Amino acid sequence: MRFVRRIFFNLAAWAVVLAVAFPLFWMIVTSVKPQFELFRRPPTFLPDTFTLEHYARLLIDTAFLVYFKNSVILATTTTVIVVAIATLGAYSLVRFRYRGRENLAFLVLFTYLLPSVVLLLPLYLMLVRVGLSNTIASLVVAYTTFALPYALWLLRSFMAGIPEDLESAALVDGASRLGAFWDVILPQLLPGIISTALFTFILSWNEYLYALVLVNSDSARPLTTGVVNMLVSAFNIEWSLLMAASVMMSVPLIVVFAFLQSYLTRGFGAGAVKG
């Protein structure tokens, strides 16, 4: 009786899991169907004819690769800058005592919750004024506004998890403060840094609003606005092409999921919820 109940529970649970995952399955299926098969009724759940023509067209006939390159540059630059600044900042916030430190920590949390639409307009004015609009650099600046508070908050909680004794021991052995940071803290913090970098990268990779407002030329456009722009400009929407673009856009994410998922879960625990 228990066995039957277990089977029943598993089947029901997996039915729900598969229903949740269905849109993603459908994205992949649609991307490898030939155009005419999309309009068949009833729809085919697995493609009758398998084709990669949409992927080929996407890479050859559209600006997809330019957008992809822009997104890689943008997300990587943002991640490197933000994680570097945030690692130093988090170290300072957790391990040093000075006036205003607590308040600063909560200013970070405050900005972490701040809506982007509030910063959007002044940032737009500022970037137009300094002549940075329509460049990838302008997006790096804008992405810092949400990525830096996020990374700081995450790293701060990772840093707090490193036992203070380790650092003290190194100091007793005659290491300087920065020497101890380099030799003792940084290796301990590495998993946290990787986790934070992954989150920052994904956040920047997926960002849409700033890219929509700040960049208006194909040469600097990242994937998010680039792909949507292809959708808008097309006379009739080519769904299989868009689904192929969606799959390709998710490739970095799929790589992270396949190899580095434990870092994502760790970041989850450290960031928002444990506080």
Among residue numbers 141 through 180, which ones bind other proteins (CB under 8 A)? 141-142, 144-145, 148-149, 152, 177-178
Interacting positions 52-81 with other proteins (CB under 8 A): none
Closest distance to other proteins from the beta carbon of 47 (Å): 14
Regarding 14 and contact with other proteins (CB under 8 A), the answer is yes
Regarding 132 and contact with other proteins (CB under 8 A), the answer is no
* CA neighbor of 202 nearest in space, from 152, 141, 162, 261: 261
Name which of 85 and 175 has its Cβ closer to other proteins.
Answer: 85
SS3 162: coil
Regarding 227 and contact with other proteins (CB under 8 A), the answer is yes
What the block records as the tokens of 215 is 């960049």
Span near other proteins by CB under 8 A; candidates 55-63, 72-80, 161-169, 205-213: 205-213
8, 24, 65, 182: which one contacts other proteins (CB under 8 A)? 24
Contact 58, 245 (CB under 8 A): yes
Which residues are CB-neighbours of 157 under 8 A, at least 6 positions away? 270, 271, 274, 275
Name which of 65 and 114 has its Cβ closer to other proteins.
Answer: 114
Q: Cα separation of 91 and 158, whole Å?
A: 10
Contact 193, 83 (CB under 8 A): yes
Name which of 59 and 272 has its Cβ closer to other proteins.
Answer: 272
Regarding 184 and contact with other proteins (CB under 8 A), the answer is no
What the block records as the tokens of 178 is 């920065």
Span near other proteins by CB under 8 A; candidates 47-55, 60-68, 85-93, 188-196: 85-93
Closest distance to other proteins from the beta carbon of 179 (Å): 12
Name which of 142 and 184 has its Cβ closer to other proteins.
Answer: 142
Which residues are CB-neighbours of 141 under 8 A, at least 6 positions away? 123, 127, 132
Q: Cα separation of 30 and 118, whole Å?
A: 38
